[in-house]
Each structure stands twice: as C-alpha cells, then as structure tokens.
Amino acid sequence: IIKEYKMKVALSVFLSLLFLTVVIAEDKYEKEMKKNLEKIEECKTANDYMKIANNFERIASAEKDKWLPYYYSSFLYVLASYSDSSNSRKDIYLDKSDKFINLADSLSPNNSEIYTLKGMISQARMQVDPMNRWQKYGADANNNFAKAMQIDTLNPRPEYLIGVGLFYTPPQFGGGPTTAKPILEKSLAKFEKFVAENEIMPKWGKEEVVDYLKKISESK
C-alpha cells in the first residue's frame, strides 16, 4: 500500500511539473508574440517590417506547432512590399510571404485569416504590374477572399481588402470609391462586433476602414 501511495504521489508531482512547464512555455510564447506585435506600429520602412518578420520566424522555429508566427511573418513581408517603391524587390518580399503563409496553412487548414492573407498577397502581386497581372492575381484574390468569408462570415478583413481593391480600381472597370463604399461599410459593421479570440490573434484593419470611408465622404 505504501509503495502504491508513493507511486501515486510521484505521478502527481510529475504531472504537476509537466503542466507547470507547459504553462511557463506558453506564457513565454505569448509574451514574445505580443512584444513583436506592438513593434509593428513603429515600422516605417521595408527593412523595419523585415526585422519584425525575422523575429516571428525565430519564434516559429521554436514553436513548430504554432501557425500564428508564420502568419505574422507573411503579413509583414506583404507590408514590406507595399512600403518599398522598387517593383523589382516587391516580388522578392512576396515570395517570402507566400512561403510563410503556406507553412501557416499546413498547420491550420481551412483558416479564414490565412485565406484572407493569401488574398492580400495576390492583391500585392497584382499591384506590381496591374495591366498584365489583373486577370491572374485578381481572380486569385477574389477566390481567397470568398473562401475566407465562407469559413468565417464574421471576419471583417476580407471585405476590408475587397473594398480597398475596389477603391483603387477605375470606375470604367467596375470600381471606384462609390462602389467600394458599401463593401467597406459592411466590413466596419463587422469590426464593430468583432472580438479577437485572444490578444495575439489578428485584429488589424479597423482604423484603415475608417480612414477609407472618411476619404470617400470627403471626396463627395
């Protein structure tokens, strides 16, 4: 009986230590994620975005079962492509972005946020050379946004990006501010109700939607 009791105590201590180790590791992971997410607001140049992207890549290397570090690495390379004026470099950033979003997708299939970012990458590809790329990448973007909305009807980001795409599309091709406005308004309505699952989940886009709607209102 004493031997059995000691075994139970030992097992209980082992499980407690294992649980504590997992909790500490998870806490460290979340702290690192939050620290780097806060730095995104300070970024101004492509190099700034790439530095934070590299930080997320390091987190991903340590946390091989987590999709979010890869997602944010991908997101930051898209932002780097938008902030660099050289078209010759944009595709290099977006190749990196594709690599990381595909890794995120392998860890979290059928994820609305991942499909949204895939659509954003396609939009960025198209903007490198709109005249020659709109057919391929425009269709890719729309398909990814449609999939994102199908998976999660409450996600406000697909409609935000659709609205932005329409905003910059000439009216003769079915776009323009007037066409974009109702889509952006739908996105804003979703943002008003949107609650992120936790502090490190994607929640970007609301301020930008408000800014675009303000531009549309002022232009009238």
**Per-residue pLDDT reduced to its tens digit, 50-99:** 999 999 999 999 999 999 999 999 999 999 999 998 998 999 999 999 99
Distance from C-alpha of 102 to C-alpha of 36, rounded to nearest angstrom? 21
pLDDT number for residue 82: 96
Token pair listed for 114: 């991942």
Among 131, 112, 130, 119, CA closest to 94: 119
Positions of the chain with pLDDT under 70 = 1-25, 220
Q: Could you read off the pLDDT of 54-66 as tens digits, one per residue?
A: 999 999 999 999 9
Among 190, 164, 189, 187, CA closest to 177: 164
pLDDT number for residue 205: 97
